[in-house]
Amino acid sequence: MIQTTYTQARAQLATLLDRVTQNREVFIIQRRGEDDVALIAADELTGLLETVQLLRSPVNAERLLTALARTRERTGTAQSLDALRREVQLDETS
């Protein structure tokens, strides 16, 4: 994260926006006498919010973290997308 002042951010707004979207940088904009504000790419924020939602349920979090551990350890069985769709009863017309 990069910190900058409101005055500096305002003077270089186009450049900051480019850096945020192109380089995935996050800027913390400090405001005198007010709370700081984060400048983050919209798709990065969407991804973070989706992750928070998925991890909010302890049961779902445990399931996801277990799957991640299996992937990192390379245990488990590889499965095609079609087989996975059949397993979770999700057809392409849904």
Residue 21 near residue 46 (C-beta atoms within 8 A) = no
Whether pTM > 0.85 for this model: the answer is: no
- Per DSSP, 12 falls in state T
- Per DSSP, 54 falls in state H
The pLDDT value recorded for residue 27 is 97
Cα–Cα distance, 39 to 78 (Å, whole number): 39
User: What is the residue extent of each domain of the chain?
Assistant: 2-40, 43-75
Residues in the chain with pLDDT values less than 70: 92-94
pLDDT tens digits, 76-87: 778 888 888 888
Domain 2-40 CATH (choose: 3.40.1080.10, 3.30.300.30, 1.10.3720.10, 3.40.1620.10)? 3.40.1620.10
